[in-house]
Structure 1
Amino acid sequence: MAGKILISGGSGLIGTRLSEMLIDQGYEVAHLSRDPDKFSHYKTFRWDIQNSSIDENAITYADYIIHLAGAGLAEEKWTKERKREILRSRVDSTQLLLDGLRQHEHHVKGFVSASAIGIYGNSGDQLMSEESSYGEDFMAEVCKAWEAAVWQIKDLGIRTVILRTGIALSDKGGALPQMARPVKLMAGAPLGSGKQYMSWIHIDDLCRLYIRAIEDTTFAGVYNAVAPHPVTNQEFTEALAEAMHKPLVLPKVPSFALNLMLGEMSDVVLSGQRVSANKVLQTGFTFEYNYLDEALESFYKKHQN
């Protein structure tokens, strides 16, 4: 049932892997980009979020839209400007796609958008399901605004799925290489109390879930995109050291030191979410990587003799 998939944020960590996997499964893939003239393996349509312009051919091309666009969280300190950009890049890009779908004849059968488990705020040990209450911090506010924008697409009669993504594990970028660097230098340590939960997902499972959300028309609404077994930050750090065959020598990195280094962004590292994968499991989706040690091994065993 292959078709044409339009991806926003296609050159990011998840978009890159997802594009490869879609092509492998016989789909045609196109990306939205600010500068489509750049060399790309994919058909590329121009859009400019700041100037609210999008090539209408992008909308008429697509059978399905996967919406991953948004300014990176970990790339810069969270100044006032950067926080505005983190929010606006998500909300305005969604609005642009919505306007395109409203204004042009199209044959889009499904719209799958990213969101994040940050919507639950710092929820401690409590297991959060899709129905759980939202947090109040900056990331929760961003996710609420983002999802509210996405829901308007459902009002156009298009099947709409939101995947609230946990920490996507990949050795090509994102959180894992940043956490692995100090471990590699034998300076790894749990962060803050170490008790905060990390709900993670292997990037390949995440991409398989996006593909499933396209192909399985019973998918609609919100799903937590996390593996079934979240771990604490301390457990994560220990498992990572083990996978890399490195000892953990340091005590915990105190919260105040992280605050000095990261400013408000440290909230993301220090606040935890323990998130349930039950709703996804009930759809019959099977994870290739249920446990953290399996996921880490997939990245680190190939580097060892």
Structure 2
Amino acid sequence: MHNQHILITGGSGLIGKGLTELLLTKGYTVSHLSRGKGHDSRIKTYQWNVDRGQIDENCLTGVDTIIHLAGAGIADKRWTKKRKRELIDSRTKSIGLIYDLMRRKPNLVKHIISASATGYYSNRGDELLTEESQPAKDFLGYCCVVWEQAVDQGKDLNLRIVKLRTGVVLSKKGGALPQLALPIKLGMGTALGTGKQWIPWIHIEDAVDMYLHAIENTTIQSVYNMVAPYPVTNKQLTKAVAKQLRRPYWLPNVPSFLLRVMLGKLSLVVLGSTKVSAEKIESTNFTFKYPKLADALKNIYG
């Protein structure tokens, strides 16, 4: 049994929920830092309001590891100027608030494991992207750079810092897959844009396991890509989902210009091509349960 105490920000999100369950079954003590009140008696929920700079000062009590998953959803709304600010602030000001508290109050925190995203590389065609690749010079790239920099501000606190650049997390319970599967379920399955753009996908279980891996292996630090080792194109993904759901894949591709009109800047999220390497995390002896897309989809829809 573990006596480790883990504080999670963004614990109600897709990965946050899965990770909370896994940690509880493994005997960890889990707390959440949240805007709302908690409804789970197994978890102590502390409250904060990032916009107002408010945080419950007791949230660090007994905590040795913080998992930072908080952040407004990239694809939830159109990218107005205000929304772009929200997307950045919800990620950077939140971890800043925690570091401010750590500087003011004695605590036991030794490890910070934070989400980042493969949006760091953004739209790069067929280039194979590793952790050493340069960030993109667009909004997604910029957002991830300042997010990671905000997390790295904790270096002067003598912390082990891990940043996991999350790809497209596949799950029935949320994320991109239900949105992608909807037209397919209705018999209108088709690739988006050219269909040749690479999707850096990962099964939800592997994503959650990777966080556990980073918690349990204290030699792991710095940045790792959180993607399956076999990337697929948008067309391959759409075809595989159609096959798994036994639905036709037949229409011509949805033209890029139409998606740009419908989605604005958000179209980058579906039209962007990001081919990401999983080699670095594999070199730490992390084993994927679902390295191949067909197996991942079979598990999700099986």
Q: Decide: shared fold, TM above 0.5.
A: yes
- Equivalent residue of 1:82, what SS? helix
Taking the aligned partners of 1:232 and 1:112, their CA distance within structure 2 comes to 29
Deviations 1:40-97 (A, max 9, x none): 3421001110111211111223111000000011222222211111111111111111
Which residue of structure 1 aligns with residue 129 of structure 2?
128
Report the more deviating stretch, 78-87 or 3-12: 78-87
Question: Does the 8 A contact of 2:75 with 2:269 survive in 1?
Answer: no
How much is the aligned-residue C-alpha RMSD, in angstroms? Answer: 1.0
Establish whether residue 211 from structure 1 lines up as the match of residue 212 from structure 2. Answer: yes
Question: Does the 8 A contact of 1:5 with 1:65 survive in 2?
Answer: yes
Question: Does the 8 A contact of 1:8 with 1:69 survive in 2?
Answer: yes
- Equivalent residue of 1:61, what SS? coil
Which residue of structure 1 aligns with residue 272 of structure 2?
271
Question: Does the 8 A contact of 1:196 with 1:270 survive in 2?
Answer: yes
Which residue of structure 1 aligns with residue 39 of structure 2?
39
Which residue of structure 2 aligns with residue 171 of structure 1?
172
Taking the aligned partners of 2:62 and 2:109, their CA distance within structure 1 comes to 9
The equivalences for 1:121-270 within 5 A come to 121-270=122-271
TM-score, length of structure 2 as denominator length? 0.97
- Equivalent residue of 1:249, what SS? coil
Give the Å deviation of 1:2.
4.2
Give the Å deviation of 1:259.
1.0
Give the Å deviation of 1:241.
0.6
Give the Å deviation of 1:211.
0.7
- Equivalent residue of 2:187, what SS? coil
Taking the aligned partners of 1:207 and 1:2, their CA distance within structure 2 comes to 20
Taking the aligned partners of 1:142 and 1:55, their CA distance within structure 2 comes to 27
Report the more deviating stretch, 72-81 or 125-134: 72-81
Deviations 1:88-140 (A, max 9, x none): 11111111111111111111121100000110121110100000011011111
Question: Does the 8 A contact of 1:189 with 1:252 survive in 2?
Answer: yes
- Equivalent residue of 1:260, what SS? helix
| Matched residues, number | 300
- Equivalent residue of 1:139, what SS? helix
Could you tell me which amino acid in structure 1 is paired with residue 255 of structure 2?
P
Could you tell me which amino acid in structure 2 is paired with residue 23 of structure 1?
L
- Equivalent residue of 1:107, what SS? coil
Could you tell me which amino acid in structure 2 is paired with residue 218 of structure 1?
T
Taking the aligned partners of 1:55 and 1:250, their CA distance within structure 2 comes to 53
Taking the aligned partners of 1:222 and 1:39, their CA distance within structure 2 comes to 33
Which residue of structure 1 aligns with residue 9 of structure 2?
8
The equivalences for 1:77-156 within 5 A come to 77-156=78-157
Runs of 4+ with >6 A deviation: none
Deviations 1:227-263 (A, max 9, x none): 1000011111111111111111211011111111111
The equivalences for 1:14-25 within 5 A come to 14-25=15-26
Taking the aligned partners of 1:180 and 1:206, their CA distance within structure 2 comes to 20
Gaps of 5+ in 1: none
